[in-house]
Amino acid sequence: MAGILIIDDADEDLKRAREILSQAGYRINGIAKDGESGLQQYFERSPELVIIDLILPGMNGIDLLQKMREANPSARIILCTSAGQSPVIDLAMRSGANGYVVKPYDPEILLSAVRRILGSPG
């Protein structure tokens, strides 16, 4: 079963993503609320997928993604933010994200992005 690390500083968004993914059968590998602790958990837990909020305290989502890519070029990462403008999406994809999801999380859109990368759970 897929292990997913979610990194987001907004409690409500963390809770929603966790509920959507858990109810769909995915295993949540870890939760972090800032880039530094997210990076630490990434190295400790080796998740199959990381979902990163673009705006985080300290290290932003793009910097975090790049650090993960430096350590593991095959890391699978979805960036998310409440900004759905094309320049933000383009930046995320140019930075190496495997996918992009706009918040608030729509269950079908989030699950579709995760399934494209991991396949169905189980």
Q: How far, in Å, CA of 38 to CA of 107, rounded? A: 23
Name the one residue in this structure whose structure tokens are 């320049």. Answer: 87
List pLDDT tens digits, range 67-109.
999 999 999 999 998 876 677 778 878 888 999 999 999 999 9
Is a pLDDT exceeding 50 seen at residue 1? no
DSSP, collapsed to helix, strand or coil, labels residue 34 as: coil
Task: Examine the pLDDT at 2 and tell me if it is beyond 70.
Answer: no
Query: What are the tens digits of pLDDT across the range 14-66?
Result: 999 999 999 999 999 999 999 999 999 999 999 999 999 999 998 999 999 99
**Closest CA relative to residue 53, chosen from 37, 41, 65:** 65
SS3 26: coil
- The pTM for the full model equals 0.93
CATH topology of domain 3-118: Rossmann fold (3.40.50)
Structural domain boundaries of the chain? 3-118
